């Protein structure tokens, strides 16, 4: 199958770029002495995770137990479920453990730790290993590294034989500006997570795993002393938010949405395409960055950037492509006739990929394979 034969909209993966992205992260994390545990929520695709494993990844991270089940079924048996554990999900988690999956859970409160311990005991099983989530950036979840609750949770889990260590996700890294801020944020993430581990150890509690991560902090980390593993997700595809942060260039981006021109509003310089928010997602992550990329940056069908053209508005199945300047340089109906095919680079690869059921894997203009992705809960 050729690129020209694909129906639109379609999610495209540039496999050569993906292999470079995987190799870059793996070699960076390995060189700093840590293991890499990729977050597969970005791709939700077995074939992508297999390539990460072939490059040296140790285990995977998931955002849902459905991901855990799908990847375990495909031979991935070392899985961190990195969302705070809801008590109702204990039977599902314990079933995975019984089937041989080395599933690790996460909590960030004594209440959640007690729910996990109580849930496992009520089911008559061992308590699964648990990481304590640490809040290093006041961004989302986690206990403060200096809190008394950290030690309370540690004691509860240790007494249950379930304390596996600490983990954090430094989501604030997405709001950094420039290399110096990213390097400092990576060091903040490392230092505060290691500090939490040291407090547990000083209290006589074991803390074998020290897990940190986000794509920006992983790639801008200068050292990982005391860290045992790094988790990162979006690096496998990159996106415009990552490009805006300086993590990659636009032409490193692996994922694109193929679209077809279906109309014009010539007086306004608009090109209407058949990729709306259903295909691109509603994510507007670059709106908070210095360069707002609308709903995505436009390339020609072969992937060459069309300088200044973005998807500026999106309805369900309509995208409106405009020149960033607001002035089209010539008649858009002549430049982009009906039927013209374009690629759109996404703001946020995790969100855009989630709108699609499969990836068309490209080698040049050949569709080398079609890889399914799964969704739902």
Distance of CA 52 to the CA centre of its chain: 13
**Min CB(152)–a copy of itself separation in Å:** 14
Q: How crowded is residue 188: how many other Cβ atoms within 10 Å of its Cβ?
A: 16
Binding part of the chain for a copy of itself, among 150-158, 238-246, 272-280, 360-368 by CB under 8 A, reads 272-280
> What are the residues facing 166 on neighbouring strands?
132, 210
Enumerate long-range contacts of 69-73, CB under 8 Å, 24 or more apart.
69/96, 70/44, 70/46, 70/374, 71/40, 71/46, 72/96, 72/99, 72/101, 72/103
In the structure encoding, which two tokens stand for residue 204, read together?
Answer: 């006589």
**Min CB(138)–a copy of itself separation in Å:** 8
Per-residue mark of binding to a copy of itself, 148-177 (x: CB under 8 A): -----------------------x------
> Judged by CB under 8 A, how many residues of this single chain contact a copy of itself?
57
DSSP letter for 330, please: S
**What is the H or E stretch that residue 344 is in?**
strand 341-345
Binding part of the chain for a copy of itself, among 53-61, 187-195, 317-325, 359-367 by CB under 8 A, reads 317-325
Report which of 117, 103, 105, 37 is spatially closest to residue 69, judged by C-alpha positions. Answer: 103
- Interhelix angle 15-31/46-54, nearest 10 degrees: 40
> Could you say whether residue 83 binds a copy of itself (CB under 8 A)?
yes
Q: Which of 24, 140, 155, 195 binds a copy of itself (CB under 8 A)?
A: 140
Q: Which of 16, 201, 288, 315 binds a copy of itself (CB under 8 A)?
A: 315
Burial class (CB in 10 A: 0-12, 13-18, 19+), 293: buried
> Could you say whether residue 126 binds a copy of itself (CB under 8 A)?
no
Per-residue mark of binding to a copy of itself, 22-41 (x: CB under 8 A): -------------------x
Binding part of the chain for a copy of itself, among 179-187, 188-196, 312-320, 361-369 by CB under 8 A, reads 312-320
Residue pair 35/58 in contact by the 8 Å Cβ criterion: yes
Q: Which residues bind a copy of itself (CB under 8 A)?
A: 7-10, 41, 63-64, 83-89, 108-109, 111-112, 115, 135, 140-141, 171, 260-265, 272, 274, 277-279, 281-284, 313, 315-318, 320, 333, 337-339, 350-351, 354-357, 375-377
């Amino acid at each position: 199958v050729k690129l020209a034969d694909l129906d639109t909209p379609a999610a495209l993966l540039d496999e050569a770029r993906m292999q470079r992205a995987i190799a870059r992260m793996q070699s960076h994390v390995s060189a700093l002495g840590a293991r890499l545990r990729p977050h597969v929520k970005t791709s939700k695709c077995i074939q992508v995770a297999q390539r990460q494993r072939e490059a040296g990844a140790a285990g995977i991270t998931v955002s849902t137990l459905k991901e855990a089940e799908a990847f375990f079924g495909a031979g991935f048996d070392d899985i961190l479920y990195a969302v705070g554990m809801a008590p109702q999900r204990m039977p599902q988690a314990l079933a995975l453990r019984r089937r041989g999956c080395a599933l690790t859970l996460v909590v960030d409160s004594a209440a959640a730790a007690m729910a996990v311990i109580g849930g496992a005991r009520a089911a008559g099983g061992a308590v699964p290993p648990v990481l304590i989530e640490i809040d290093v950036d006041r961004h989302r979840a986690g206990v403060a590294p200096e809190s008394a609750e950290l030690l309370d949770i540690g004691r509860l889990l240790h007494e249950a034989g379930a304390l596996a260590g600490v983990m954090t996700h430094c989501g604030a890294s997405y709001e950094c500006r420039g290399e110096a801020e990213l390097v400092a944020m990576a060091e903040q993430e490392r230092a505060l997570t290691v500090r939490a581990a040291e407090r547990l150890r000083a209290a006589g509690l074991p803390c074998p795993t020290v897990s940190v991560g986000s794509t920006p902090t992983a790639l801008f980390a200068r050292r990982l002393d005391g860290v045992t593993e790094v988790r990162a997700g979006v690096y496998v595809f990159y996106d415009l938010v990552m490009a805006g942060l300086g993590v990659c260039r636009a032409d490193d981006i692996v994922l694109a949405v193929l679209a077809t021109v279906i109309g014009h509003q010539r007086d306004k310089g608009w090109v209407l395409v058949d990729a709306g928010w259903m295909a691109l997602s509603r994510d507007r992550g670059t709106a908070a960055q210095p360069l707002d990329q609308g709903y995505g940056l436009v390339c020609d069908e072969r992937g060459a950037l069309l300088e200044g053209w973005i998807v500026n508005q999106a309805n369900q199945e309509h995208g409106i492509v405009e020149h960033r300047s607001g002035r089209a340089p010539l008649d858009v109906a002549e430049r982009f006739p009906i039927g013209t095919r374009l690629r759109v680079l996404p703001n946020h690869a995790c969100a855009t990929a989630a709108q699609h059921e499969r990836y068309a894997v490209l080698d040049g203009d050949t569709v080398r394979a079609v890889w399914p992705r799964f969704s739902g809960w």
